[in-house]
Structure 1
Amino acid sequence: MASIMSHPFSHLRRAGHLFVIAIAVAAIPPACPAFAQAALSVTEVAPGVYVYRGEHAEANPENDGGIANIGFVVGTRSVAIIDTGGSPVIGTALLSAIREVTDRPIGYVVNTHFHPDHILGNSAFSAEAPVFIGHANLPAALRARQESYLARAAETLGQDVSEAWFVLPKHLVSTRETIDLGDRVLILEAHPPAHTDSDLTVLDEATGTLFAGDLVFLERIPAVDGSVLGWLAVLDRLAEIPARKVVPGHGPVAAAWPDALADERRYLKVIVTETRRILAAGGTLQAATATVGLSEKGRWLLFDDYNARNVTAAYTELEWE
């Protein structure tokens, strides 16, 4: 909690087993609304909740890494951003979009996990002096991947990259906390290894909007970078959250909750079941990647880009059962 306490505009109070982070912003002047970067096209999916829907593609120079769903929530005192996109260009465009909606200070930037399409826009918000928040495992995961992520960004985006693109969260969530934006409370929940080992969800209590990060994929194939068994367990936990709609990490905002989890759960179960069958028969990883999950082909975008990787991750995990 020290990092929150040291923030010049913040104080911390305890409410039961939750921590409520409140920011005092009355004395902060409005940020300048003029930016050279054109604003992202955001949609108000619920009152005060705005989402930019990422492109179903891999990061490239044409999309500037804007392939993930990112958004923000506006309270009476401040704004919270949930993920910042795949480059400072996208982050700056998100900042422009926010300033078209409100001049309230940006109090928080929440990173839902460590993948670059969700966090490489962080530096666009540094001058706003928000509290950067992430899962307790996030800093170590980002440090371990910094070199490879920046090299990959330079290659795929065709942009000059630097270490300044990496802004690590200072306030870390290990269980469950809340942040108060002013008459608007967001519940932050850290999850055990699933999509990654640093998955964090954000629930806006006022509207029942759940920002699920990449724990939920719709239309685009899920990507396993943590634990396939853990992910299935976390989906059961997510289904218990009293959300009225979900903002997935990729794909359309869905109002059918928890029914929106059905396709992802089916796919992950297929991967587990078929991989176990290969392992029981003494099959090789090569045999698994060539056959497992093919019944799902045609149901998911970017299937050929990710299915074999998912099977590899599942095989590596399940062979030790």
Structure 2
Amino acid sequence: MTRWMLALVCAGGAAMASEDIADKYPQSELYDKPVEVIPHVWSAIGATAPPTYENAGHNNNLSFVVTGDGIVVINGGASVRLAAALHDEIRAVTDQPVRLVINENGQGHAMLGNAYWADLGVDILAHEDAIHEIEENGDFILQGMQGYNRDRAEGTRVAVPNLSFSDRHVVEMGEVTLEVLHLGPAHGPGDTQVWIPDWQIVIAGDIAFHERMPPIFGDTCTSCWIETFDGPFTALGATYVIPGHGHPTNMAQVTRYTSDYLKDLRAKIRAHLDAGGDLAEAYYVDQSRWQMLDTFEELATKNAGRVYEEMEWE
């Protein structure tokens, strides 16, 4: 284990990232250069800020696994230019070809770069619910990316994954067995985890957060998310966790800042409901315990309102 990774695994507090940090890799479309998290598993860690022109939409983690007989990429990237930049970094590490791309969900930063890989003849795998989201909302998502990314969006189009799965898809490539999993409802439709049991590492996607506040969507079931996280996700027993956003870490960290956060917010909203509180007041329940998380200002009140609307009818 590298000294860097050991420090992350043993850290007692979140390794905080700041939205004010400038692009860390200005010579590349990537926000930061990929790092080898454990042997053979690499990740280009994105900004924990919202997507902007300055970070080229690289605000999630773009990972890849070197199997000995090809590369498995996790996340297509937010544009074809971002996907190409990641491919340049892969070529600097190995001459093995990219054989599979996995989308961790149907959001833009996971799938808008698919067209780059599809044009190379690479198979693209996603959960069936993520594929449905791409088919239904892909053009709208693309327009949003074009709005902030301007010239950096040139050439990007929606490319729907050509492979799908429902619960579990096993990839055996080279010396590695990867389990592509949908463990249950969590952050959004089609949330996907890539588990490598022999190496005790999970590329978790957006089921797990620790440096930025988890976003809660209008259709997110937070009680379901907690159940999936505390149940089958925790049961994996992962030593290493690459979350959807933020630096690689361990289960204790993502538990504290994901499951514990959701439980705390639900408890605050439950108390507010029991006291007869309304939606307008719910936005301002006390979340100061979590204000150190990036995107707190953007998400805290939205999250509270959405949990209120969810729990009002429970």
Return the TM-score normalized by structure 1. 0.83
Q: 2:23 maps to which residue? A: none
Q: 2:264 maps to which residue? A: 270
1:63-142 paired onto structure 2 within 5 Å: 63-142=55-134
1:85-234 paired onto structure 2 within 5 Å: 85-159=77-151, 161=153, 164-225=156-217, 226-234=220-228
Matched, 1:56 2:39: no
Counterparts of 2:233 and 2:241, CA distance in 1:
10
Specify which of 292, 308, 320 is matched with residue 313 of structure 2. 320
What is the total number of aligned residue pairs between the two structures? 284
Counterparts of 2:297 and 2:290, CA distance in 1:
8
> 1:151, CA displacement in angstroms?
2.0
Counterparts of 2:211 and 2:87, CA distance in 1:
27
The change in CA–CA distance for 1:163 and 1:277 in structure 2 (over 3 A counts) is: farther
Unpaired runs of at least 5, structure 1: 1-35
Q: After superposition, give the CA deviation of every residue in 1:203-255 in whole Å (9 maximum; x if it has no partner).
A: 1233221100011111111112221111111111211103220001111101x
Counterparts of 1:158 and 1:171, CA distance in 2:
30
Overall identity of the aligned pairs, in %: 26
SS in 2 for 1:165: coil
Conserved? CA contact 1:74–1:80, under 8 Å: yes
Q: 2:237 maps to which residue? A: 242
Q: Which amino acid aligns with 1:305?
A: E
Counterparts of 1:159 and 1:114, CA distance in 2:
23
Q: Which amino acid aligns with 2:302?
A: R
More strand by share: 1
SS in 1 for 2:145: helix
The change in CA–CA distance for 1:297 and 1:190 in structure 2 (over 3 A counts) is: closer
Q: Which amino acid aligns with 1:149?
A: I
Matched, 1:285 2:279: yes
Counterparts of 1:165 and 1:209, CA distance in 2:
32
Q: Which amino acid aligns with 1:168?
A: V
Conserved? CA contact 1:106–1:128, under 8 Å: no
> 1:161, CA displacement in angstroms?
4.6
The change in CA–CA distance for 1:140 and 1:283 in structure 2 (over 3 A counts) is: same
Return the TM-score normalized by structure 2. 0.84
